[in-house]
Structure 1
């Protein structure tokens, strides 16, 4: 297939290589995830740093909610959801990116309301929201689109494709955590580095053969 041809009707072109490998039946989930993280990195850099500023403001809002909950105060959850949306009005940036920050905060506040899982963990709000935002970008830009259709590249078993995406996900999430910590430390998306891939263990055929023979002779 010549470069530039459409391989999927809705995917960004930068994900073409990963998607082609998925359709071709690539089974190295770590390698696929590493390449997907490069695409995600470029998406995040294209979206810019405005989402970071919004995330910090939203984290302050969550911190205030958690403190009130710890003090036994009643929370008006509908009002807090309106506050999440209101903060977005004061940040200038790509609507899609800021919308994904808001989506992340809506997911987080639902967890807080139902499970109260962040009470006592106030310092984690910035990290949790940042990781949620990066994950939502990955899902919106690649994972959900790739999993919903067979695309135009070649016929592929959708179940197998979705299974491979699922097996990639732990690797991707580890990379996202690595990205999130960098962003919080540096305050920008422009200096992101991917985590190093685990080295592939070289196979010593002679050593393995001798070990197998010795096992058989025991």
Structure 2
């Protein structure tokens, strides 16, 4: 059984997820963007042993603490897709630009692509490559629990920005409609910022990518 708790970090209130396998109590941080000590305390409070770090994409508020945590815990880094290499390399500059605490670039232990799987304890998560916000953005999906960790692809009532380097609006819409919607209306998703929602709710209400909004755009 997959368990999860959301821990907002950084000035951008990015939703870092602490996820774990209830049977083994082995877990992972999804998008540890900063405040490493706060995240470590959350893992300790929940009795979770961190065995890896999962990264949806390499913007500073999602990846700022990856290098420090991986080094401190001696655990592998899985994700994002290789197309985000340029963002990983620019993490120090991103932090300087936005006035964030210094951050280091890192080398993922494993780059991810669509169709891959990652494990957390005895739990398996499917990987979907969902470019548009960044070219190397991936999401993690638990079919058994009907939950997805989608980074900055989709939000409650909104979608990811596409005005950053190598962002593309049409690609993002395609990722949402072709890679997320088929996972099912009942699937709960944890966005990179803000409140949780379901894909069904967004198809009904989202003004950017809802079914009515897209029908009107045709």
* The two structures share one fold, judged by TM-score above 0.5: no
Query: Which band: TM-score by shorter chain?
Result: under 0.3
- Scaled by the length of structure 2, what TM-score is found? 0.25
Query: Which has more radius of gyration?
Result: 1
Instruction: Name the structure where helix makes up a greater proportion of residues.
Output: 1
Q: Which has the higher contact order (CA 8 A, sep 6+)?
A: 1
